[in-house]
Structure 1
Amino acid sequence: MRPYILAESNWKTVKEQKTEVAVLTWGATEAHNFHLPYATDNYQIEAIAAEAAKKAWEAGGKVLVLPNIPFGVNTGQTEVDLCMNLYPSTQLAILNDLVEVLDRSGVKKLLLLNGHGGNNFKALLREVGAKYPKMLLVTTSFFQTVDRKEFFEEAGDHADEMETSLMLHLRPELVLPLEEAGNGEEKHSRLTAIKEGWAWSERKWHMVSADTGIGDPRKASEEKGKRFFDAVTRQVADLLLEMDKIKNEDRYEE
């Protein structure tokens, strides 16, 4: 039993240990090019959360990882078979219910650790936070924690070199040979503002990618995945330790 994983804990342990920080991971179930499994985001974010919590726990942090939410916002993939979708309004309802339980249980700090690019939790945390003003609600996406350019050669954001390397490290038995992968070529918007980055429109996946990938995965390796995993989990562990030590009513510097 890992005492920092709620799913593996029991009532005896839970009632005896004081939890300061809960970690909720939120992934997705969707196509990841031809070579990666649909649950790629879930495998990645669960492993990252567990390892970061382990590091924080061993350093004295009172943290607890909740079970992962395996479905995310996939409104841009409606034409791709079995890309499972939750609307943001559904996510809000789920998040509100879970924060209510944490608040009632005396756990006043939550790290919402995101594993899927289609999820965006800032607006949701604004709304939930207004209902629970004594809660410290923090969110980040694992792929924003370190500079990916230090680890990978090819740009991309879906089933790319980064995700493929992570999966080669975490679950290599689920990765098809890279010669079977598509090249992840992306078609770009014709709108200048979107190309320049100061406007946004949701990508329609069946229109921008022939293989559902964005970014060439073929330079991926297990070694790159391990280096990236270690760096990300160290960053997240440091965040958890800071959240553990801080007092919610004194969270801002003078």
Structure 2
Amino acid sequence: MKPYILAENNWKNIKEMDIELAILPWGATEAHNYHMPYATDNYQVDAIAEMAANIAWKSGTKIIVFPTVPFGVNTGQADIKLDLNLNPSTQLQILRDIVTVLNRQGIHKLLVLNGHGGNNFKPLLRELGLEFPEMFLSLCNWFQVGDKSKIFEAEGDHADEMETSVMLYLREDLIRPLEEAGDGAEKQSVIKGIREGWAWAERQWSQVSADTGIGNPKKATKEKGEKYLKEVTEKIGSLMIELAAVDTDHLYE
């Protein structure tokens, strides 16, 4: 039993446990090219939360990791079979209910550990911050933590070389041979401002990618995944330590 994992813990321990920081991993259930499972985002964020929390716990930080929320925002993938969507308004209500519990029980720090690019928690946490001024609400998108350029050759953001490498390390048993994977080619918007990045419209996934991937996964390896995860989990573990220790009346210097 890992004492920092709520799903493995028990009332005997929890009722006496002093908790400085709660962590809520949040993933998605969606297609990841031809070679990776629908629960890729959930396997990844769940493992990263556990690995980072282990680092923080060993330092003496009093934290608890909640079960991963397995569904995310997939509004641009409505026609991709069994990509399961939670609307942002639904996410807000789920978050509100969880924050309500924490606030009532005197646990005033929450880190949302996000594992899916379609989830946009900033506006939700802004709204909840006004509703619950006692709470310190923070966010980390794990896939933005490490320097991908030092390890991976091909750029991408979905079922790409990075994600495939991480999954080869975590759950190689669920990965089909890479020769079966699509190349993750991405079509670009015909609108100049969107192509250049200073305008935005949601990507319509079935028009953008033939195989649901964005980025070529062919050069992924387990060794690359292990190296990247080490960097990511060490940084997130340090973040957890800092968040738990910080005096919320003195956040700036």
> Equivalent residue for 1:131?
131
Q: Secondary structure at the match of 2:214?
A: coil
Alignment of 1:158-177 (within 5 A): 158-177=158-177
Shift of 1:252: 2.1
Shift of 1:11: 1.0
Percent identity (aligned): 58
Q: Secondary structure at the match of 2:69?
A: coil
> Equivalent residue for 2:58?
58
Shift of 1:250: 2.0
In the TM superposition, what whole-angstrom CA distance separates every residue of 1:182-230 from its partner, at most 9, and x where no partner exists?
0000000011111111011100000000000000000000000000111
> Equivalent residue for 2:243?
243
Question: Using the alignment, how far apart are the partners of 1:222 and 1:128 within structure 2?
Answer: 39
Q: Secondary structure at the match of 1:249?
A: coil
Runs of 4+ displaced beyond 3 Å: none
| AA partner of residue 55 (structure 2) | K
Shift of 1:66: 0.5
| AA partner of residue 143 (structure 1) | F
Q: Secondary structure at the match of 1:46?
A: helix
TM normalised by structure 2 equals 0.99
Question: Using the alignment, how far apart are the partners of 1:15 and 1:106 within structure 2?
Answer: 13
Matched, 1:31 2:17: no
Shift of 1:24: 0.3
Unaligned runs of 5+ in 2: none
| AA partner of residue 239 (structure 2) | L
Unaligned runs of 5+ in 1: none
Question: Using the alignment, how far apart are the partners of 1:101 and 1:249 within structure 2?
Answer: 22
In the TM superposition, what whole-angstrom CA distance separates every residue of 1:19-72 from its partner, at most 9, and x where no partner exists?
100000110000000000000000000000000000000011111100110000
> Equivalent residue for 2:97?
97
> Equivalent residue for 1:114?
114
Shift of 1:79: 0.8
Alignment of 1:226-241 (within 5 A): 226-241=226-241
Question: Using the alignment, how far apart are the partners of 1:247 and 1:101 within structure 2?
Answer: 22
State the aligned residue count: 253
Q: Secondary structure at the match of 1:64?
A: strand
| AA partner of residue 161 (structure 2) | E
CA RMSD of aligned residues (A): 0.6
